[in-house]
Amino acid sequence: MSSLYFLGNNTSYISIPNAPALNFETQDFTVEWFQYEMDTNPYPRIFQKGTYSSSNISIGVSIEGGSFYYWRNNTPYLVANLASSDYKNKWVHFAICRTGGTTTFYMNGVSFGTPLADTYNYTNTENLLVANETTLSSNAAFGGYMYYFHYMKGVAKYTANFTASTSMVSNTANTVLLLTATGASGSLGATITSTAGTFAITPTLSSPAPPSPPAPSWFLPVLFGSRALFTDNNRFYYKPHSLASGGVGSVRNYRKKGRRT
């Protein structure tokens, strides 16, 4: 089974140019992804539309030293504090859904944190970045695997606790973007203009929880349409057992506060 693999630096990300479909406005929405995080960066962004230093974030998620932050209107909302064993070096499914003016957060199918009263009009002119923020930063880079990243507008896919399936999700009429190791699909799947992540082989996901992936021994380029998503300059080869282990690092926070505020 193949997954997206990100190097954990500012050369490894996926960028989707701004378009109306990326702006949820006041509609219901769902963002879900299956991740295996390995980086030790201080402010890794799973996804973000906007940049912290520019004060223009409409939506995003970061997990900073175990603190799961949901970013809305450039303000971080602390959903929950997680132990590194909860989310580092293991497969975890996350989902964020808004319905009826309330945004709920799910981890492995179970609501966590406190649902957020949310009538915010999600809109800005920034590109959507997966594994970084719109203005690239190594400190904000996510490093590790994503089985998929699914961005849906107009529907809350989950409205109560659910069983997080290890099966690949499918496109629906509400899918704006679905990123997998086989490429990009959804209404904006063909608009990707900047990609620098790599893709790697991982074991087949199985219930009840996906297994830990071994160090990939070779690089798998993924085709997008009739051309490869990645150029020769972005190829990255791995030796068996060469990946460093994950975990929250000891990087000193040189900003004013630990959550970049």
Could you read off the pLDDT of 28-40 as tens digits, one per residue? 999 999 999 999 9
Judged against a pLDDT cut of 60, whether residue 108 lies above it is answered with: yes
Instruction: Say how far apart CA 225 and CA 228 lie, in whole Å.
Output: 8
Per-residue model confidence (pLDDT) at position 199: 59
Identity at 19, one-letter amino acid code: A
Instruction: Report helix, strand and coil shares of the chain as percent, to nearest 5.
Output: 5, 35, 55
DSSP state of 86: H
- Nearest residue to 236 via CA among 2, 6, 3, 45: 6
- Phi, psi values for residue 232, rounded to 5°: -55, -35
- Extract the tokens encoding 203: 């074991």
Per-residue model confidence (pLDDT) at position 101: 97
Per-residue model confidence (pLDDT) at position 201: 57
- Extract the tokens encoding 120: 């915010």
- Extract the tokens encoding 81: 């504090």
Which residue would you say has higher pLDDT here, 170 or 233? Answer: 170
pLDDT digits (tens, 9 = 90+) for 18-71: 999 999 999 999 999 999 999 999 999 999 999 999 999 999 999 999 999 999
Q: If you count DSSP H runs as helices and E runs as strands, how many of each does the chain have, helices first?
A: 1, 19
Identity at 122, one-letter amino acid code: Y
Q: Which residues does residue 14 pair with via DSSP β-bridges, in sequence order?
A: 130, 195
pLDDT digits (tens, 9 = 90+) for 127-145: 999 999 999 999 999 999 9
Task: For the chain, give the mean pLDDT.
Answer: 81
pTM of the model: 0.79
Helix (H) or strand (E) holding 87: helix 84-87
- Phi, psi values for residue 139, rounded to 5°: -65, -25
Which residue would you say has higher pLDDT here, 203 or 152? Answer: 152
